[in-house]
Chain A
Amino acid sequence: MIKKGLILLILVGFVTIISSLLINFKGNEELNPLARHYAEHGAAEVGAANLVTAVVVTYRGFDTLGEVTILFLAAAIVGFFLKVNNRDNEREASLRKTSEILITASTLLVPTIFMLGVYIFMNGHLTPGGGFQGGAVIATGMVLMIMAKPNVKFNHKLLAFLESVSGVGFVIIGVLGVLLAAGFLDNRILPLGNFGTLISAGAIPIIYVLIGLKVGSELTNILDSLKETQNEK
């Protein structure tokens, strides 16, 4: 009884605190100075048609590097804790037979999904989407592949190679920005090009291709580690 009373008291306290915030809330009629700078000068300074990408990759590029690092750590920790015993590797999982429809559909759909993912991260500076989204789409294609063929084996060396090369490449481009342009991860190390074309916005397409490959291979690695633990007894 006392416990329930305390919970009620805490809830009422929350309501009073939050309701005072809610009553005094007024939506911004105009952009704040920082947002106005991005909106007015973003296209000229960065050259990316998708302003979200301009903010994510260039103005706030350091945060993106942090996010990529967090994802890398998560993938590394999953791989570390889900280490599979080697002797169990030989045993094939005795799963229910996959349906014929799924197998047939996956042969058509998996390459299409991969192509969509590559499209999303290559056009990250023009259309909505980018490295993270493209990489995640590629990983969902991998999910479909695993569901259709549960005993498929991935080439771990290739995945690890892709992941390391793209991570190191991202940092190298960032450092090149310090040496050749205004600062870390500045995209003007390459010419900005024509606004709105595929090869424009300086280093943003390269950075997004690297992020897309990195995210895709990391998420695939996580999925594969989880898949392999299913066989172990």
Chain B
Amino acid sequence: MSIVLAIFLGLVILVLAVVAVHHKNLKVAIIATGVVGLFASVLFLLLAAPDVAMTEASIGSGLSTIIFFYVLNKIRQSND
């Protein structure tokens, strides 16, 4: 069961990573990056690495997303 879930999560991560690279709207791309981090942390948990999963959940999907949004906002301001 958990191997099926792991493969499913891996596929979702791949799809979201492609979305993050190719989507026209940068907001959607940033959200996709954050969700990649979130699913990756679940995957790490399934692979019996709870320490890495915690780091990935808080930094990969929490902090880096908000930092990307700050930078995006800043770039928009200076382009106006």
Interface residues of A (CB under 8 A from B): 50, 52, 120, 128-130, 132-133, 136-137, 139-140, 143, 219, 222-223, 226-227, 229-230, 233
Contacts and interface: CB of A to CB of B under 8 A. Distances in A.
A128 B73 contact: no
Which 6 interchain pairs have the tightest Cβ spacing?
A128-B50, A136-B58, A133-B54, A140-B62, A226-B70, A128-B51
A120 B55 CA distance: 11
Main secondary structure of the interface of A (DSSP, over half): helix
- What is the predominant secondary structure among interface residues of chain B facing chain A? helix
Interface residues of B, number: 15
A133 B62 contact: no
B67 A120 contact: no
B58 to A, nearest CB: 4
Residue in A128, A222, A227 with the greatest tally of chain B CB atoms within 10 Å: A128
B63 interface: yes
Given A128-B51, A139-B63, A226-B70, 13 more contacts: A120-B54, A129-B54, A133-B51, A133-B54, A133-B58, A136-B63, A143-B62, A143-B63, A223-B63, A226-B67, A226-B74, A230-B73, A233-B77
B68 to A, nearest CB: 10
